[in-house]
Amino acid sequence: MCPIKKRKIITTNSYKISVSKQRPNHAKKTYICAYTKSIDIRIFIDKNDCTMELRQLKYFVGTAEKLNFTEAAKSLYITQSTLSQQIKQLETELGVQLFDRIGKKVYLTEGGKEFLPFAKKTLDDAEHGIQRLQDLQNIRTGVINIGIMYSIIPLLAPVISEFAKEYPYVKLRIGYHQTNNLHIMLAERKYDLIVCYSTEDAEPNEDIEPLFDTKLSVIASKKHPLAALKHARLESLNEYPLVLPTSTFYARSLLDQYANKKNIKLEPEVEMNGVLLLQELVRTGHWITILSSEVAEQEPDLKAVPLADNIVMHTSVISLKDTYVKASAQKFKEILKKRLSKK
């Protein structure tokens, strides 16, 4: 507890703020001490001058992520002068310089690096507290941030349609990325949940709920000779012009692992970090590629031929164990699992 006397407790969404007329040195001024249920922050601030606000923490975190005042101000929808003023005020309140400003470049100081995770945690706690209250009051509004991998896109339309009918005022923000990046962005709390492959080196705080398994397959034009096969052998694929995703894709990294085990060296003519152009090249009938079978599921001119090696990837919906999952996001997960589980 904060070492102050004559304490009056004011409860907000996820904070308790103690207001007192005395500091430990009995100075006759008003100070506050704010703390969350998991973080005890013993900072005394002269309330007669100014108080630290959540928006200042938001501005600090935004600037720390961009390390550029101009870009941070744009992303926060405020002017650069307002941002600079608020950061300066926060530094004054804390008595610590948070950023080093060298010319046009900005760097976090040691104090800024130390304070950053606590600022993020405080903002997360506030957001989760507000969301809990909204869920208790059955308020069906807000935003769900969902990250998906490209191959799941053709399967999502019926899920989104069903969800929108039940939660018409909940906004969905959906972005697609490679599987490895999705796991990173979930850990950074940029997404409420992600739909992608669960990997062997998954983080211990990930809550993984399986949806379905998919086989790594040769994707070819229906006019290609391989399209007539039931299975394709990995060692025979170098006989055909090959275009592959880069090794940053989970499917490619898994493919390379299996190829190395069998001492097979794949020699693609083209490598790229996107799927759309890759599909267009395959459509010409000249190239083949190796991806999840879902890539060809909604493409009438493409065929997925499973590899004989039976390389399986596990598609899952993943959230964080230590983070409150809002009721609307839980509902989205339920619809997702109903529509896609054991597909």
3-state secondary structure at position 77: coil
Q: Are residues 301 and 320 in the same domain?
A: no
Measured between alpha carbons, how far is 10 from 81 in angstroms, rounded to an integer?
A: 32
Q: Are residues 329 and 275 in the same domain?
A: no
In a domain, 121, yes or no: no
Q: Are residues 154 and 193 in the same domain?
A: yes
What pLDDT score was predicted for residue 268? 94
Token digits of residue 310: 């039976």
**CA angle at 213 for the pair 167 and 164, rounded to the nearest 5°:** 10
Of the candidates 254, 260, 256, 285, the one whose C-alpha atom is nearest the C-alpha of residue 268 is 256
The structure tokens 């922050």 sit at: 41
Beta-bridge partners for 10: 17
Q: Are residues 174 and 320 in the same domain?
A: yes
- For residue range 153-173, what is the model confidence (pLDDT) as tens digits? 888 999 999 999 988 989 999
Ranges under pLDDT 50 in the chain: 1-50
In a domain, 118, yes or no: no
Q: Are residues 237 and 160 in the same domain?
A: no
Q: Which residues of 133-142 are buried (b: 16+ CB within 10 A; e: fewer)?
A: ebbeeeeeeb
In a domain, 269, yes or no: yes
Q: Are residues 321 and 207 in the same domain?
A: yes
Domains of the chain: total = 3
Q: Are residues 76 and 156 in the same domain?
A: no
- For residue range 201-232, what is the model confidence (pLDDT) as tens digits? 778 889 999 999 988 999 999 999 999 999 99
Q: Are residues 99 and 240 in the same domain?
A: no
In a domain, 230, yes or no: yes
What pLDDT score was predicted for residue 22? 39
What pLDDT score was predicted for residue 218? 95
Residue 188's domain spans which residues?
130-211+315-340
Measured between alpha carbons, how far is 239 from 87 in angstroms, rounded to an integer?
A: 61
What pLDDT score was predicted for residue 51? 66
Give the global pTM.
Answer: 0.63
